[in-house]
Amino acid sequence: MQSRPWGVLGYALGYDAPPMRILGLETSCDETGVAVFDTECGLLGEALHSQVDLHARYGGVVPEIASRDHLRRLLPLVDQVLKDTDTRRPDGIAYTAGPGLVGALMVGSGLANGLALAWSRPVVPVHHMEAHLLAPMLEPDAPAFPFLALLVSGGHTLLVAADSLGRYRLLGTTLDDAVGEAFDKTAKLLDLGYPGGAALARLALDGNDGAFAFPRPMLNQPGFDFSFSGLKTAVMLKVRSLEKDGELDRARPDVAASFQRAAIDTLVARTLAAARKERCGSIVVAGGVGANDMLRAELARRFDGKVFYPRPQFCTDNGAMIAIAGAFRMADAAPPGTIEARARWPLESLLPPTSDANR
Ligand code: KG4
Ligand code: ZN
């Protein structure tokens, strides 16, 4: 009997598993995220501290500053979320073990292991990109496997065939910059601050997206890989020539709109081609760029299947996606002991949860 609304969760845990509360900790980059997810009732509470202001003046994330701030913020956030959710002792503690900044990851990993030791609870190391991929399952209208996942953030651009929990085939990735990085670098050229993806999207609303013909990289190549460095260079050259002619101020919204159009056209064309090849009726979009309105509108217009997203606040990094991923991966939970922190960790190297693989 399936007592939970989350079909896949029931499958992963066993439908008669007792309800569990999982504490999730996210510290892979520049957001400190904490959440408690209950396998019976769903998300009970979450809190986030963003370091964006700390890094803004450097124009990018400074790893040492990130680690120190996680260290300062994480424990008070855990305290707050446990109080808010009336949780005395969770049944398991999930933390982001990678990929990410090693120093930042070690803060979450260290605290997860410390709490687990104090509470005699198991810990679950979570893959950050698998958590992004599972984030739409926090929503009432959750996707079911198999689906195609487009994971688009500041560090990643991945097109993944998600056959089942833990069985992921990488169809395409970026050969150079991540799409979020391209948004951020273009935003920087337009003096929109860092990270400027959302600000660029807002500025683009006032511009003409046909004003400049920027390249749609890779679209004439076979396969599903992406490349954004040529687009970035084309925008940079255009900004320089507009600046020289004293026209940049007037043309800023047009540059933003034309860049956004080229980047989104590329993402959407590749994603639709992959969905056709895989005969996928569902697409999951997650990661920070998944909050982009034009991406959402274009997929809705051009894809005849269903597209699933997390709510915008769970597109970017957060603790809730780590807590639900930890719930899915409870079979991999282990006694505390190893401080796991991996800078690199290919998504396609994951396996289904231990008990699931043996079924
Ligand atoms: O997933 P995320 O929070 O962090 C990483 O793991 O990288 O994604 C952050 C990225 C940044 O590059 C940011 O500029 C971009 O997502 N972003 C957007 C939008 N909102 C955030 N890009 C385009 N349009 C948006 N609305
Ligand atoms: Zn992320």
Residues paired with 21 in a beta bridge: 38
Q: How far apart are CA 103 and CA 28, in angstroms?
A: 9
The two structure tokens encoding residue 268: 């959407």
Give 11's pLDDT tier (boundaries 50, 70, 90).
low
**Ligand 2 centroid, distance to 15 Cα (angstroms):** 30
Q: What average pLDDT does this structure show over 279-284?
A: 97
Chain centroid, CA 28 distance in Å: 11
What pLDDT does 7 receive?
Answer: 59
Long-range contacts of range 116-121, CB-CB < 8 Å, 24 or more positions apart?
A: 116/335, 116/336, 117/336, 119/89, 119/90, 119/93, 121/89, 121/90, 121/91, 121/92, 121/93, 121/336
E strand or H helix at 128: helix 128-134
Regarding the beta carbon of 192 and ligand 1, being less than 6 Å apart is answered no
Tens of pLDDT along 31-86?
A: 999 999 999 899 999 999 999 999 988 988 999 999 999 999 999 999 999 999 99
Q: What is the pTM of this model?
A: 0.94
- Is 195 near ligand 1, meaning CB less than 6 Å away? yes
Cis peptide before 63 (omega within 30 of 0): no
Among candidate residues 309, 264, 265, the one with its CA nearest the CA of residue 285:
309
Predicted confidence band of residue 357 (pLDDT cuts 50, 70, 90): very low
> What is the pLDDT, as a whole number, of residue 9?
72
Task: Give residue 187 CA to ligand 2 midpoint distance, Å.
Answer: 19
Mean pLDDT value across the chain: 93
Closest CA to 294 of 265, 325, 320, 336: 265
Does ligand 1 have an atom closer than 6 angstroms to the CB of 33? no
**Best residue among 294, 316, 322, 345 to mutate for probing ligand 1, ranked by most atoms within 8 Å of CB:** 316
- pLDDT for 92-130, tens place per residue? 999 999 999 999 999 999 999 999 999 999 999 999 999
Query: How far is CA 168 from its chain centroid?
Result: 16
Q: What does the alpha-carbon distance between residue 331 and residue 164 come to, in Å, rounded to a whole number? A: 15
Strand partners, 306: 282
pLDDT tens per residue, range 229-265: 999 999 999 999 999 999 999 999 999 999 999 999 9
Q: Which ligand places an atom closest to the C-alpha of 188?
A: 1
What six digits make up the tokens of 110?
Answer: 């260290």
| Whether residue 146 has pLDDT greater than 70 | yes
Span 216-236, average pLDDT: 91
Between strands 282-286 and 167-173, the pairing is unpaired
How many Cα neighbours within 13 Å face the side chain of 13? 26
CA dihedral of residues 225, 229, 231, 233 (deg, nearest 10): -170
